[in-house]
Amino acid sequence: MKCPIEQLFFISLLVLLPACCRYVDWGKRNVYQGIEVCDESANVRRYLRSVSIYSQFSTCAMFDVLWLSDAVRTTYACVNSARLGKDEEHARAFLWRQLEENKHYITFYVLSLYDVPLDGANATWAVVLKINNNEYIPADIKAIELAPEYRSFLACELSRFKTAYEVTFDARAVEGQPLIDQSTRQIILELRSVKKRARLIWYISSDGRVVSPYCIPYDEPDTLQDWPGTCEGGCQ
């Protein structure tokens, strides 16, 4: 009696998997793996929001958005200085420049599908920032090449099918007041097309910390969907 193909497949797995595990263990023992460093991505990923937008079962757009807050820029500066071997003075100066940037601009890194561009006058999707019931348009949107540190932080979201954009807003209103102050409790970034909208929200506690990362579809304002704060699934 012949075995079904499915049974042969599972029998093969049972035979091959133990050998595969032994091979991986042997490789780790005999092939130099380098020195592991502390993974700081968890400090950054709590500032990451993602949303996928569909029309029926067809994907209209996918966005992964990282807010370059003071905490994110601090982590980036520390990892960058450690990677490049900067001394304390240069590391401190680099961090100062990163934080100084946030006094002038509110910056987001946005990953979008390569066929859904965000730059250009005829881009299908527009980006709008909402703070304290006021709306603001970007000062600039440009495609960028992410630094190695940010590529590591966003390893789970990056792919050859996505383009990275830097979206910046003026950090101060026309009158000179900062858009984000001690009274700010949430920052909303809306992605808008002619037929669809989605919003990504960063909630801010009274002590200035970002809490409970959520992604809220625009057409379901009462639905909160937890977004994982750590990178899972074996991303490198």
pLDDT in tens, the chain (236 residues): 445 666 655 556 555 556 555 545 655 666 777 667 667 678 898 899 999 998 888 888 999 999 999 999 999 999 999 999 999 999 999 999 999 999 999 999 999 999 999 998 889 999 999 998 899 999 999 999 999 999 999 999 999 999 999 999 999 998 889 999 988 999 999 999 999 999 999 998 887 788 765 555 555 444 344 333 333 333 33
Task: State the residue range of the domain holding 185.
Answer: 39-226
Residue 159 lies inside a defined structural domain of this protein:
yes
Residue 6 lies inside a defined structural domain of this protein:
no
Rounded to two decimals, the pTM is: 0.78
Burial of residue 227 (number of CB atoms within 10 Å: 0-12, 13-18, 19+) = middle
Cβ-based neighbour number of residue 113 at 10 Å: 16
Residue 12 lies inside a defined structural domain of this protein:
no
Residue 235 lies inside a defined structural domain of this protein:
no
Residue 234 lies inside a defined structural domain of this protein:
no
Q: Please give the tally of structural domains in the chain.
A: 1
With CA atoms as reference, report the closest residue to 174 among 136, 127, 140. Answer: 136
Distance from C-alpha of 95 to C-alpha of 105, rounded to nearest angstrom: 16
